[in-house]
Chains A and B, each alone.
Chain A
């Protein structure tokens, strides 16, 4: 199960951000301050913000549907971001305690009673999603409302979204819907429309949460081609073993050379 976030219909109301905070009883991100970044005072996902709405004010020609008149040279992009619930989740791979696990829904969840706050997952996530909370020193992130979907309910953010920008469901079904939506937009002349995070051949073998974007991912603060870091782990262990032998050989040489 997963999320499809269609940013082309997002109106930036932040209902998802608020619904997530309420349902999951998330504390505020202290200290509150106005960032001056358009309407965005949250800035990014954090241990206590599991949905984040980005606002991008852009100078780009906006046309009427089907390539008609240019109506403006200023546009706003709004997008609700969330944990990607990666197929190859680096956070889950590196967690030394087994606190992060894969649920029966294919999502990635942290268990607070087992997490020891080592912060390894924070540095491993290629999307900068999971973070350590100051107050309790533990790692937190979106659970895709594990407690709700287990009861057959829709995640709080998807439930609250008034425009169906956030859709929850079976991944294959969501992908069909997303592909059709991109085709429609492309046909209407929105040539920048594209899917992000849906590709099973990408660096994390696809996400349980993917997006329809209207510009390059980095414009929204998303990495253009993230990679699951543990892909290179076998090579890392090999280099480490060779380097360990080098330490031993070097010191043995230093002893042997003087004899």
Chain B
């Protein structure tokens, strides 16, 4: 047999001429678990954007929105650290992350970022709930809001700075996808937890965040060329499509829920949160799938080589 196309139909359906070693993958699939690291991507987004909501609520005299934001941030960052430790296997291994600071390693930068951010979130919720040290609490809340946006988007760099085709090729749009998704999901949690009198900003942010999430996602897949297929097939495809549908429904519900009352707000909030989770897990699955098939490694690299030759 030749090494070309194994006759599983997939490779042959592709017009491009393409060789491989018995159809074996070239790259190693990520060692990360979808549940822990996929969840980590989602929870970091929820936490970071919720901190901005908390500061906004505090600044504009919406105490319940502020407290909901602080609580969502703490739950998000707490669970995401737990997910990270679970993926490493032992808590002590997390400390190895803080041995050095390496700007060339997004994971090192992110660990330091979380190490600074998590205590701020903790202090800000603690002082809010207990009513003690209000000044320190306000400062911590604003501090968390300053770091929050970076917490939501650094994870996009974390996964893009890899050889995984469906992640690396999207490095320009991925941070915006994560930004939109985080804004929408934090808005969703605020819609669930706050009364109608205070949830105006959440309703508007839900629409803005969803628009950014969907637009960045579409643009990203379009710009990737054939690698974008990894987002349309299999598990990733199902997750992405479900996520997009839920996001549209959630944003529409949020926009109208001003009139619809509590139940509508809670439902749209839940839809927005589920949408972001589906899209993050979809991005994760697409990455894994793109390492399993050598086509996603060979074809774009061949194109790059051909492009370089035709330029010289």
CB 8 Å contact bits of A90-124 with B (1 = contact, 0 = none): 10011111110000000000000011111110111
Inter-subunit contact B208/A240 (CB<8 Å)? no
**Identity of the chain B residue whose Cβ is nearest the Cβ of A219 in the assembled complex:** B19
Inter-subunit contact B27/A128 (CB<8 Å)? yes
Partner-binding segment picked from A6-14, A182-190, A205-213, A223-231? A223-231
Inter-subunit contact B100/A98 (CB<8 Å)? yes
CB 8 Å contact bits of B1-37 with A (1 = contact, 0 = none): 1110000000000000011111011111011100000
Of the residues A57, A131, A219, contact of B28 by C-beta under 8 Å: A131
CB 8 Å contact bits of B133-159 with A (1 = contact, 0 = none): 000000000000100111011101101
Chain B residue numbers with a CB within 8 Å of A93 are 104-105
Closest 7 CB pairs of A and B: A221-B21, A243-B175, A119-B31, A244-B149, A254-B205, A116-B93, A96-B108
Shortest distance in angstroms between B227's beta carbon and chain A's nearest beta carbon? 14
Chain A residue numbers with a CB within 8 Å of B49 are 247, 251
Chain B residue numbers with a CB within 8 Å of A235 are 171-172
Partner-binding segment picked from B72-80, B176-184, B271-279? B176-184
Chain A residue numbers with a CB within 8 Å of B88 are 116-118, 137
Partner-binding segment picked from B52-60, B123-131, B239-247? B52-60
Inter-subunit contact A254/B107 (CB<8 Å)? no
B-binding residues in A (CB < 8 A) = 37, 43-44, 54, 56-59, 90, 93-99, 114-120, 122-132, 137, 215-216, 218-227, 229-230, 232-233, 235-237, 239-248, 250-255, 257-259
Please measure, in the bound complex, the distance between the C-alpha atom of A99 and the C-alpha atom of B304, giving whole angstroms.
32
Shortest distance in angstroms between A140's beta carbon and chain B's nearest beta carbon? 12
Inter-subunit contact B96/A114 (CB<8 Å)? yes
- Known: A137-B89, A222-B26. Is A247-B152 also a contact (CB below 8 A)? yes
Query: What is the number of contacts between chain A and chain B, taking CB atoms within 8 Å?
Result: 241
Of the residues B27, B102, B145, contact of A98 by C-beta under 8 Å: B102
Most buried by B among A54, A127, A247, A252: A247
Please measure, in the bound complex, the distance between the C-alpha atom of A117 and the C-alpha atom of B162, giving whole angstroms.
16
Inter-subunit contact B152/A244 (CB<8 Å)? yes
Q: Which of B163-209 contact A (CB under 8 A)?
A: 163-164, 168, 171-172, 174-176, 178-179, 182-183, 186-187, 200-205, 208-209
Inter-subunit contact A239/B22 (CB<8 Å)? no
Please measure, in the bound complex, the distance between the C-alpha atom of A259 and the C-alpha atom of B60, giving whole angstroms.
10
Inter-subunit contact B205/A250 (CB<8 Å)? yes
**Identity of the chain B residue whose Cβ is nearest the Cβ of A91 in the assembled complex:** B163
Shortest distance in angstroms between B78's beta carbon and chain A's nearest beta carbon? 19
Chain A residue numbers with a CB within 8 Å of B163 are 90, 123-126, 128, 226-227, 229
Inter-subunit contact A250/B301 (CB<8 Å)? no
B263 within 8 A of A: no
Shortest distance in angstroms between B311's beta carbon and chain A's nearest beta carbon? 14
Please measure, in the bound complex, the distance between the C-alpha atom of A247 and the C-alpha atom of B122, giving whole angstroms.
21
Chain A residue numbers with a CB within 8 Å of B249 are none
CB 8 Å contact bits of B78-110 with A (1 = contact, 0 = none): 000000000111000110110110101111100
Please measure, in the bound complex, the distance between the C-alpha atom of A114 and the C-alpha atom of B97, giving whole angstroms.
10
Inter-subunit contact B19/A216 (CB<8 Å)? yes
Please measure, in the bound complex, the distance between the C-alpha atom of A50 and the C-alpha atom of B209, giving whole angstroms.
46
